[in-house]
Amino acid sequence: MARTLTPPPAHLTPVALALLLWQGLLAADYVIARFALGQDGWPALMAGLPMEALWLRVAWGLGVWLGFGAAFFLMLRDNASVLLFFAGAAGFAAAGIGMILAAPPVLLLPLPLPAIVATLVLLPMAGWLYARGLNKRGVLR
5 in a structural domain: no
80 in a structural domain: yes
Task: State the pLDDT at residue 105.
Answer: 75
- Cα separation, 57 vs 73, in Å, equals 24
pTM above 0.85, yes or no: yes
Task: State the pLDDT at residue 49.
Answer: 86
**Are 45 and 64 within 8 A, CB to CB?**
no
pLDDT per position as a tens digit, 84-132: 999 999 999 999 999 999 888 777 777 888 899 999 999 999 999 999 9
Name the average pLDDT for the chain.
Answer: 91
32 in a structural domain: yes
| CA angle, 115 then 44 then 86, to 5° | 50
| DSSP secondary structure of 37-97 | -SPTT---SGGGS---SHHHHHHHHHHHHHHHHHHHHHHTT-THHHHHHHHHHHHHHHHHH
7 in a structural domain: no
2 in a structural domain: no
3 in a structural domain: no
Q: Please give the tally of structural domains in the chain.
A: 1
Residue 38: give the domain boundaries: 12-136
Task: State the pLDDT at residue 40.
Answer: 74
60 in a structural domain: yes
